[in-house]
Structure 1
Amino acid sequence: MGHGHSHHHSHSHKDVNGRNLLISIVLNIAITAAQVIGGIVSGSLALLSDALHNFSDVISLVISYIANKLVKQKASLERTFGYKRAEILAAFINASTLVIVAILLIFEAVKRFQNPQDIKSNLVIWLSIIAILGNGLSVLLLKKSADDNMNLKSAYLHLLTDMMASVAVLIGGLLMKYYQVYWVDSALTLAIALYLIVMGWDLLKNSTKVLMLFTPDDIPIDTIIKDVQTIESIKNVHHVHVWQLNEDEIHFEGHIDFTDDISLSEFDTILHQVEELLLHKYNINHINIQPEYGKHDNKEIIVQD
């Protein structure tokens, strides 16, 4: 069986990510504690809901931090892939918590609509400003890495949505202070919750696809097969599996039926051509090929194992 792979890792980049996550954890613990106390004292559901979201931020950041550390662990006989999927699993957990928190907030907002309460708006205003500053700093720390890492994107989204929620709470506090419009507290809570569901669902869907070994969205298997079959001596490509292991690795596994009974050295030359094609055109960097000649098996592209 032919096998090839090409990986590009940056341990220093992961160390920076870990440090930034740790700073964000400390900031969000402080924000959460302040908002819980402030929400209870002021009677603001929006502030308490923001505190609950901040608490979910803390949990998500801790999970992301642990995953960031685990992914550096080396493979072993018991764990042949090491902990390469730790960050994907963290993204799935964090996205799930976003959606769950949002549903809880919707229930609480509906209850508060039915039973509006007076709220101490000054406390709401000052605590929301503190939360905006703290979450804003955390967002800046993780923004650069969020584009190409699903784990950090999940943490980034938690922080970004919470910063936006804090802005909404600040606006609500100002409206309550100067216009005594107390129902806006519940309305903002509902808006925050709906936004969380939208953001969380997309990430939950993407991380689920990776965990379920679905073909990545940007990998056109039919086109890949046609390209590989243009290489001389290759008769048929079948029994194909393509999956994403983590943020850095896309795997291709398949059987290749050859037109002639070629030697191992000839196979190695062809394998190198396949690897170059899949890496440079489709960004597939881990390839497993089973060579065949005259074998009577199922020649369909996709075969259920």
Structure 2
Amino acid sequence: MGHSHSHNHSHAHDLNGRNLFISILLNIVITVAQVIGGLVSGSLALLSDALHNFSDVVSLIISWIANKLVKKKASLKRTFGYKRAEILAAFINASTLIIVAILLIFEAMERFQNPQEIGSNLVIWLSGIAILGNGFSVLLLKRNANDNMNMKSAYLHLLTDMMASVAVLIGGLLMKFYQIWWIDSALTFAISIYLIVMGWNLLKDSFKVLMLFTPESTSVDAIVEDIQRIEVIKNIHHVHIWQLNEDEIHLEAHIDFNKDIKLSEFDIILNEIEELIFHKYEINHINIQPEFGKCDAKDVIVQD
């Protein structure tokens, strides 16, 4: 038997999809402009920033596709639908974020050893345009970045690229007025370290969801203790708790009763369990298998 406390998130997904689409268009324009500017000015910094923007475009497209997939209905072949699409997108984007950051570190080290004079005026103007474009995209995605791993991964990609563009702008200004050629490399290195830290945290969080780990904020022992306080319950065992996506936490368990109760009585107890677990632990999908005198393993965690 099961239960679900559900909420309507379709409007939020529609808004996220629109914001992602706008960000994709902005980043395509920025990427094309930076490639042309980098080739004209001979700026490796601009070309590398264009590469970062292109990686943003790819990550945003992945996030946008996931946002569309998650709204598809469940079917006989896909009983959960595509509810994990956004978690998978977050994992992919977090992985690419770390890879790009590592490549940036090597690029910064090489550029530090071999600084070269470039056309700074074009670098300054185009990096300024990139900051404005990425800054607008960051504002679009920031609102839901803390509540949705997919949006957070896209947000981090854009925030990173905006910071990289700031580094290019500062480098361009210092090169133009003070001929300090190494500053761009130093700033790029610092941004890359920040990227790795943020990307690693997101990678860990999305990995835990994909692997069906118990959410860190959920205590299995406390849940078992609370349920076993109900008078007619003898034992709760074979417990599984996992997070399906951003909105759903599932619990399934076997409950051994100390007497042979009627189905109508079980429904009353089940409703009590559902309300307790939802309001105290925010678990909104519960599936309980009732048992009486069944000979099976009674451990809380049973390896299937």
**Could you tell me which residue of structure 1 aligns to residue 122 of structure 2?**
123
8 Å contact from structure 1 (residues 46, 188) kept in 2: no
**Could you tell me which residue of structure 1 aligns to residue 44 of structure 2?**
45
Deviation at 1:106, TM superposition (A): 1.4
**Could you tell me which residue of structure 2 aligns to residue 249 of structure 1?**
248
Pairing of 1:1-305 with structure 2 (within 5 A): 2-305=1-304
Q: Point out 4+ residue stretches in structure 1 off by more than 6 angstroms.
A: none
Deviation at 1:47, TM superposition (A): 2.5
Deviation at 1:266, TM superposition (A): 0.7
> What SS does structure 2 have at the residue aligned with 1:237?
strand
Deviation at 1:114, TM superposition (A): 2.2
Distance 2:108 2:166 in 1: 18
Distance 1:287 1:300 in 2: 19
Deviation at 1:10, TM superposition (A): 2.5
Deviation at 1:42, TM superposition (A): 2.8
8 Å contact from structure 1 (residues 235, 257) kept in 2: yes
Distance 1:184 1:173 in 2: 9
Distance 2:167 2:188 in 1: 9
Higher mean displacement: 140-149 or 47-56: 47-56
8 Å contact from structure 2 (residues 37, 123) kept in 1: yes
Distance 2:198 2:34 in 1: 23
Distance 2:87 2:193 in 1: 24
Aligned partner letter, 1:286: H
TM-score (norm 1): 0.97
Q: Percent identity?
A: 76
- Provide, for residues 98-141 of structure 1, a one-character-per-residue CA deviation record: whole Å limited to 9, x for no partner: 01111111122222222221121111111111011101111111
- Provide, for residues 136-176 of structure 1, a one-character-per-residue CA deviation record: whole Å limited to 9, x for no partner: 11111111111211111111111112112211221111111
Aligned partner letter, 1:193: S
Aligned partner letter, 1:96: S
Deviation at 1:192, TM superposition (A): 2.2
Distance 2:34 2:231 in 1: 67
Aligned partner letter, 1:243: W
Distance 1:69 1:87 in 2: 9
Aligned partner letter, 2:302: V
8 Å contact from structure 1 (residues 45, 186) kept in 2: no
Distance 2:43 2:276 in 1: 59
Higher mean displacement: 159-168 or 241-250: 159-168
8 Å contact from structure 1 (residues 238, 255) kept in 2: yes
Distance 1:274 1:43 in 2: 67
Cα 1:236–1:273 change in 2 (3 A) is: same
Deviation at 1:49, TM superposition (A): 2.6
Deviation at 1:46, TM superposition (A): 3.0
Distance 2:127 2:238 in 1: 56
Q: Indicate the RMSD between aligned Cα atoms, in angstroms.
A: 1.2
Unaligned runs of 5+ in 1: none
The count of aligned residue pairs is 304
> What SS does structure 2 have at the residue aligned with 1:167?
helix
8 Å contact from structure 2 (residues 167, 184) kept in 1: no
- Provide, for residues 197-256 of structure 1, a one-character-per-residue CA deviation record: whole Å limited to 9, x for no partner: 111111111000000001111101111111111112111111111100011100001111
